[in-house]
Chain A
Amino acid sequence: EAQVTQNPRYLITVTGKKLTVTCSQNMNHEYMSWYRQDPGLGLRQIYYSMNVEVTDKGDVPEGYKVSRKEKRNFPLILESPSPNQTSLYFCASSAASGSWVETQYFGPGTRLLVL
């Protein structure tokens, strides 16, 4: 089954304790992204990757890091989480295309609470 998986699904942590949220896709997609979803703000892109070792900032990258060492994996790293990073996080992937647009497939989400 084609899917994007995220782990963990739920996470409670404390301010300053480094954490990593994993994302993996089995569709051999080139593009991967991380979004955060907050009430009244919709989804905002944190980082995206166009392929292995190619990453770039989205709209809200402050306080986050990513890496793309393998095509299928795109972990999100919070080096020193703060309460304002409490949010619902989604990973997404899509295939590269020529001139046409490819659908973004979203993972099930990771709900993070930073105390």
Chain B
Amino acid sequence: QQQVKQSPQSLIVQKGGISIINCAYENTAFDYFPWYQQFPGKGPALLIAIRPDVSEKKEGRFTISFNKSAKQFSLHIMDSQPGDSATYFCAASRMDSSYKLIFGSGTRLLVRP
């Protein structure tokens, strides 16, 4: 049972463009939604996270949009750069058990120069 569905599986964007990755979750008890970035040969690293009491969170070029009623959240990368090329994972958990993250299947992003 896949509790967090992520799309697309892969994404190619030109430098300077906007990258958008979408996730949908099923468990309404989830109240913590992080995004992780993973470069080849490395472990995932926390990029940005949101709680459902806000609809949007922005950190630099990275923005999470959250739609509680639709049980969806998305990552937007503005002004995408070749250095952003990586695999991105959305995840979800309950805040009081954030050590039990449920991950999406991942999106491989390639930003062309």
Contacts of B36 in A (CB 8 A): 106
**Number of residues from A at the complex interface, CB < 8 A:** 27
Q: Which of A31, A50, A102, A108 contacts B41 (CB 8 A)?
A: A108
> Least Cβ distance of B49 to chain A in Å?
7
Contacts of B43 in A (CB 8 A): 4, 90, 92, 106-109
Q: Is residue A103 within 8 Å, beta carbon to beta carbon, of the partner chain?
A: yes
Contacts of A41 in B (CB 8 A): 105
Q: How far is the CA of A40 from the CA of B5 in the complex (A)?
A: 11
**Chain-A contact segment, one of B11-19, B68-76, B94-102:** B94-102
Q: How far is the CA of A102 from the CA of B42 in the complex (A)?
A: 20
Give the residues from 57 to 72 in chain A that come closer than 8 angstroms, CB to CB, to chain B: 58-59
User: Do residues A106 and B44 form an inter-chain contact, with CB atoms below 8 A?
Assistant: yes
User: Do residues A42 and B6 form an inter-chain contact, with CB atoms below 8 A?
Assistant: yes
Contacts of A101 in B (CB 8 A): 32, 49, 93, 95, 98
Q: How far is the CA of A103 from the CA of B36 in the complex (A)?
A: 10
Q: Is residue B46 within 8 Å, beta carbon to beta carbon, of the partner chain?
A: yes
Give the residues from 25 to 69 in chain A that come closer than 8 angstroms, CB to CB, to chain B: 31, 33, 35, 40-45, 48, 50, 58-59
> Least Cβ distance of B34 to chain A in Å?
8
Task: Kindly name the residue among B4, B43, B44, B46 whose own CB sees the greatest number of chain A CB atoms within 10 A.
Answer: B43
Q: Is residue A99 within 8 Å, beta carbon to beta carbon, of the partner chain?
A: yes
- Given A94-B99, A107-B43; 7 other pairs, CB 8 A cutoff: A33-B100, A40-B9, A42-B105, A43-B44, A101-B95, A106-B43, A108-B43
Query: Chain B interface (Cβ within 8 Å of chain A)?
Result: 4, 6, 9, 32, 34, 36, 41-46, 49, 89, 93, 95-96, 98-106
